[in-house]
A and B are shown apart, each in its own frame.
Chain A
Amino acid sequence: MTSILRLVCTRGRSFLAVLFLLAFAPLGSGQDTPGLEQLREIQSRIQKVAAQNTLATVLVTDGIGSGSGVIVSADGLVLTAGHVLTTGGNDYRVTLPTGREVKAHALGKNLNFDAGMVQLDAPGPWPYVELGKYDSIRVGDWAVCLGHPGGYEIGRTPPVRAGKIIAVRPSRLITDCALIGGDSGGPLFDLDGKLIGIHSSISDSISMNRHVSINIYQEHWDRMKRGESWGVLPELTDDDSEEEVDPTPRAGLGITVDINARQAKVTVVRPGSIAEQIGVHVGDIVVRINDAAIHSPQQVIDLIAAKSPGDSIDVTVERNGQQMLFSAKLDAI
């Protein structure tokens, strides 16, 4: 029985255990056997990667859960896993391998892919690592992993682990670099010392360690850096043999309308949504969106679907015979 676990150390919540099908890409058995000289070369590169990048490998905690992270700019931008920023606290602290503690604040996160960002709240310059290229990652390559397994241990540098890239998926990498709770958000490097992934989850196989691939951060960089948070953590049910559907975030208001009703009557207002914040109530009837008069529930769905997250819309509803106008910026869902 296989379970996939996210690697943040948390207090209250028990981890999610979901079954999945572990299927590797066919690799063939004719792998080259490296000679001793090649091994020496790989060894010296692993050592160099570890030495170069250890100081930028940090612990990220909100006092409730603890994960890892890696500094990627001299002014203290930290990449981590999205779920490291969902354990419940607000005040983040980052611990450097030297033991120095720095205050930090969470920036944005794209939970669809388990990606997140944190900013250190003290002036740099900070030690940082360089980003790699997703396109140059190859199955069979060696990779080096750092992190703070089990949390920060005084007198222990981030333990170095090395392994092979077992699969490259559209948004993640799978390696046999063994990870455990506390490693979440920690860095995976190629043998040039470039950051290619961020630790995310494991299964009960020692060879199944999953990392968010660097392209995800690069694609969503600006939005995360601006502090936007969107998406939902994927269920840890995972068929790794299939291509992932790109969950490009859709725009949403946070209401449900009864599709079978004659009018666009609100049946659900999702807690925490923008609709709730601006004061839309269950029972309200949507009569106008921007300049369009609404005659059917389907119109509401279509008009919102055509928008992007962050777009502003004006919504007029009818409540107890009165018309009320709301302005809202659409959520990402």
Chain B
Amino acid sequence: MKTEAHVVRWMIAAALASAIGVSDAVAQLNSETQKLFEKLVPELDSTLKIKFETAIGQNQSSIDFTPEEFIRFRKHPSNPFAGLEKIDPYAEQGLIRLEFKIPSIREQESEPGERQHPDQLNSFQSVTAQAARFTVQIFADDKWVALGTVVVSTGLIVTKASELENTTNIVCRLSESGGQPRDLPARLLRIDERNDVALLKVDALELSPARFVDQEIIPGAMVVTPDFSGKPLMMGVLSTIKRSLVGVNQAYMGVRPINGPSGVELSQITPGGSADLAGLRPGDIVTKIAEMEIKSATDLVNSVRLHQPGDKVKVQFLRGPQSQVVDLTLAGRNMGGQRAAQYNSMNQLGAIPSRRRDDFPMVFQHDTPLLPEYCGGPLLDLDGNVIGINIARSGRVASFAIGSAEIRLIVDRLLRENVASNQ
């Protein structure tokens, strides 16, 4: 059994420093490692099982083995770690401590020869340098959550609104030419929910706003995303022209609900649809979907729309006097539930999708593998023009940006609403 190179490298490194007696603080279990442990547990013999269960229970990523246990684990067919054969279990006296850790996507560095490697990105340095003047880094409660774009010299900045949800303390980091970066507290003025754009205000008077250039979107054109200091973060190419994503990724249950005398009744079931596959029948009265009480047909529609295609939800319903619960996998517009569920998991391979990534009224698509916190800032073409604002990492193959023409309208509207609300 083999596993990925970075794990291998890590494992070897870990193994070299693994003799017990090293009394380092035990690192916390990250979620990827936890998932891997949980997958392993049912496969292992009882002694090994207890070790991994204990690690999960105590939120620890390191496990101590006796040499015999270590050999048993190394030989086990479901052991996913390579490089273990390089460890001599009898090299030191006593136990062998292995530190298990799968690096998160944020920690992964690109290899030489990949398009995001610093050697390649350096080519974009001259393209992005000017963007330091209008690109800001946004922290919420001391965590980097987004980038932002200066739109008015008197301290008005737009960013991705949903990344600020449930946060209180917003700080914008601006670059000072030749000096230290400057951190300014920001106030949230307005939000455009449909476009997921927020308008922020910092106390500054002489910022340089971005000039939005309404460039024609030609698929294949190179784009680059700068950070607040004008360095290229990542490159990509334009994938599609502008389109609306409203409803494109809507979830469907495959029923027609009516407000009946005894509750929300399913009057029709689409053959082969999600409800049909889950065993629901015409006449069933739906009472709950994923913990949400269903009191009207509208409740049912709304509860489905809160989810993504591929999500599994528990549906509680009455058939006659009897209350029953089924698991139902929601379908998408082009895909059945199972397929949508598969697609969703592939979508997260090598990518961390933004929390809000659907239903944008008008965006174009590019293939920059943005992290969620890279959204909200400007997207540049090879001439350094701001052709839009990154608004979401959709998943493995796509990021979305709002084009300059649209962002200008959105900003104008936010500014007008802000003035109106101050009067």
Contact = CB atoms under 8 A, between A and B. Distances in A.
B221 A43 contact: yes
A237 B77 CA distance: 14
B203 interface: no
Contacts of B397: 149, 159, 161, 178-180, 183
B222 A42 contact: yes
Interface in B324-369: 334-336, 338-339, 342-343, 346-347, 349-351, 365, 367, 369
A50 to B, nearest CB: 4
A149 B36 CA distance: 28
A44 to B, nearest CB: 8
B358 to A, nearest CB: 13
A20 B119 contact: no
Contacts of B382: 36, 39-40, 43
Contacts of A149: 397-398
Interface in A1-39: 1-3, 5, 7, 9-12, 14-15, 19-24, 27-29, 31-36, 38-39
A179 B120 CA distance: 21
A33 B119 contact: yes
B167 interface: no
Interface string B235-262: 0011111010000100000000000000
Contact of A207 (B80, B111, B120, B367): B111
B343 A9 contact: yes
Contact of B350 (A34, A40, A207): A207
Nearest to A36: B126
Contact of B347 (A38, A157, A180, A208): A180
Among B108, B116, B239, max chain A CB count under 10 A is at B239
B27 interface: no
Contacts of A161: 237, 239, 367, 397
B113 interface: yes
Contacts of A182: 343
Contact of B124 (A39, A164, A179, A207): A39
A163 interface: yes
Contacts of B4: 1-2, 19-22, 203-205
B36 A36 contact: no
Contacts of A180: 343, 346-347, 349, 395-397
Interface string A93-109: 00000000000000000
A218 interface: no
Given A21-B4, A180-B396, A160 B240 contact: yes
Interface string A242-272: 0000000000000000000000000000000
Contacts of A47: 218-221
Contacts of A29: 112, 119
A156 B339 CA distance: 20
Nearest to B350: A206
Interface in B110-154: 110-117, 119-120, 122-124, 126-127
B2 interface: yes
A144 B367 CA distance: 11
B346 A5 contact: yes
A48 B120 CA distance: 22
Give the secondary structure class of A's interface: loop
Given A31-B119, A159-B239, A151 B369 contact: no
A176 interface: yes
Interface bin, chain B = 35 or more
A205 B350 contact: yes
Given A29-B112, A204-B350, A19 B80 contact: yes
B367 A22 contact: no
A204 B396 CA distance: 9
Among B32, B35, B120, B367, max chain A CB count under 10 A is at B367
A31 B339 contact: no
A21 B81 CA distance: 10
A202 B120 contact: no
A139 B2 contact: no
A21 B8 contact: yes
Given A10-B342, A20-B2, A46-B237, A178 B221 contact: no
B239 A35 contact: no
Interface in B192-251: 218-222, 237-241, 243, 248
Contact of B220 (A1, A49, A206): A49
B123 A19 contact: no
Given A157-B241, A202-B349, A207-B350, A176 B114 contact: yes
Interface string B33-46: 00110010000000
Given A9-B335, A149-B397, A161-B237, A14 B219 contact: no
B1 interface: yes
A34 B220 contact: no
Interface string B86-123: 00000000000000001001001011111111011011
Contacts of A51: 219-220
Given A9-B335, A166-B114, 8 more contacts: A10-B342, A31-B112, A160-B219, A160-B240, A160-B367, A176-B114, A176-B116, A202-B349
Closest 7 A/B residue pairs (Cβ): A206-B350, A47-B220, A21-B2, A159-B239, A2-B4, A46-B220, A27-B113
Interface of A: 1-3, 5, 7, 9-12, 14-15, 19-24, 27-29, 31-36, 38-40, 42-43, 46-51, 54, 139-140, 144, 149-153, 155-157, 159-164, 166, 176-183, 202-208, 237, 239
10 contacts: A27-B111, A46-B237, A50-B219, A150-B343, A153-B248, A162-B237, A177-B367, A181-B342, A206-B350, A207-B350
Interface of B: 1-5, 7-8, 32, 35-36, 39, 80, 82, 102, 105, 108, 110-117, 119-120, 122-124, 126-127, 218-222, 237-241, 243, 248, 334-336, 338-339, 342-343, 346-347, 349-351, 365, 367, 369, 382, 395-398
